[in-house]
Amino acid sequence: MELYELTAHELMDKLNNKETTITDITKSYIDRINDKEKDVEAFVTLTTEQALEKAKSVQEKVEKGEVNSKYAGIPIGIKDNICTKGVKTTCASRMLENFVAPYDATVMNKINDENMIMLGKLNMDEFAMGASTEYSYFKKTKNPWDLNRVPGGSSGGSAAAVAANMVPWALGSDTGGSIRQPSSFCGVVGLKPTYGLVSRYGLVAFASSLDQIGPITKDVTDSALLLNLITGHDEKDTTSLDIEKKDYTKALVNDVKGLKIGLPKEYFGDGINPEVKQAILDVAKKYEEMGATVEECSMEVTDYALATYYIIACAEASSNLGRFDGIRYGYRTKEYKNLKDIYINSRSEGFGEEVKRRIMLGTYVLSSGYYDAYYKKAQKVRTVVKNEFDRLFSKYDLLLTPTSPTVSFNIGTRSNNPLEMYLADICTVSVNIGGLPGMSVPCAVDSQGMPIGFQLIGNHFGEETMLRAAYTYEQNTNFKANKPTFKK
């Protein structure tokens, strides 16, 4: 077995037992990247040279006893909307093609403090707006299970790189499903934490009230390990919650007896692919077999969630993306005679179609005369969604749904139909609206050999219950027998 095939916790064990070295691990991943990146195209920027140098120096520090962290020397990939000092942060946009942040995101400080090794910045839909990573300005990332298909999005580069074993794990960001949906498409584990659990400082904002950074990993244990590293209150982000830090690996217990799981019927309606539906129902059955109670429930407001999500997310985005004006940094048009030209041309040329579409949508719903009908109403529905979740979580410990109504689709089939693309988020957006934690866990492959993931939704700060259920499922099934085939 090659080093790159291992999970992060397996690498940690090997390092701990002195069965391998940090440099060997890093080299193994670099070789793998050299082998697979041309097919998968998961990276926007590779930092393999810096990684190798850092690996050597961390290895030395470990040998001298100066560094004593289990995370030390473990490679990682970072979604390209998380600011990294000295390395380009492009958000897969022409607007930030050459942007180098002068500071590190809070999560990067945590990663660097532990002496982890960043292998590169991962591709995504431009400014995290999309569900297939096709809206990247630079390249289209392929799904490692079938290179003709999308990896999902917007954290498609992160999910594909993990699935292709080019990184042991990665950070993604999730505004409406951007960690969970690509994880489901690529057969890996993706976790979106409770809003406020992870600092957003240094995450280039898409929709501030919905964005969260989270781990994309090969298994549930790694998910808990990486979550441990990135959580915690941050003075630089007032929306990050000041609560006691938990050790999520303690939740990795192979037991779901007594857990009450709700199955909201609205997630199993017409739009869902029958094979996906069957796979999720099989998961439900498995949970029952393992000792949990599974019960159908209803969350009627689900029908309004997608519209509510797109109004709130676009409204916030239209304001958040105002700073890309061609004045201080980022792309500036060459064609201008006055200030107005700089704004209009820089933004017209620097942003892609989908980003412009969402800025226009957001600008519209915040405009005077439309604010009450759209934005304000959406905020009201948001409260209703939260109340609905509260009601459900007074009865259930977890909710079980599909992560996506379909498996991965072919490249180019939806990118010209925004509405159809938006439907890819239908199972995931409510979680962000409610600020709840959600997780996608791989459970099956369909008749075409494409992975299917199920989604667990937890109550606020219910990460431990979610991880426990996911871990138990993983321990009692054998999804790992399926491997990405790089089908051409």
Residues that bind another protein (CB under 8 A): 81-83, 89, 91, 96, 99, 101-103, 105, 200-205, 207-209, 235-239, 315-316, 318-319, 322-325, 327-329, 339, 343, 363, 366-368, 371, 375
State whether residue 192 is helix, strand or coil: strand
CB 317 within 8 A of CB 129: yes
As measured in angstroms, the least distance from the Cβ of 368 to another protein is 5
The C-alpha angle 200, 204, 206, rounded to 5 degrees, equals: 95
**Cβ closest to another protein, residue 159 vs residue 359:** 359
Q: Which is nearer to another protein, 145 or 375 (CB)?
A: 375
Instruction: Give the active site residue among 36, 54, 79, 142.
Output: 79
Catalytic residue among 28, 132, 154, 415: 154
CA–CA gap between residue 458 and residue 449 (Å, rounded)? 29
Determine if the peptide bond prior to 69 is cis (ω within 30°): no
Per the annotation, the verdict on 430 as an active-site residue is no
Burial class (CB in 10 A: 0-12, 13-18, 19+), 271: exposed
Minimum Å gap between C-beta 230 and another protein is: 15
Contact 244, 222 (CB under 8 A): no
Contact 2, 32 (CB under 8 A): yes
Nearer to another protein, 363 or 477 (CB): 363
Q: Is 121 a catalytic residue?
A: no
Find the DSSP H helices in 41-148. Answer: 48-63, 106-113
* Cβ distance to another protein smaller for residue 208 or 482: 208
User: What is the closest distance, in whole angstroms, from the C-beta atom of residue 259 to another protein in the complex?
Assistant: 33
Is beta strand 260-264 parallel, antiparallel or unpaired with respect to 451-458?
Answer: unpaired
Catalytic-residue membership of 178: yes
Which long-range CB contacts under 8 A does 48-52 form with residues at least 24 apart? 48/119, 48/120, 50/87, 50/118, 51/26, 51/75, 51/117, 51/118, 51/119, 51/120, 52/23, 52/26, 52/27
Q: Which is nearer to another protein, 83 or 467 (CB)?
A: 83
Shortest distance, position 133 Cβ to another protein, whole Å:
20
Q: Residues with catalytic annotation?
A: 79, 154, 178
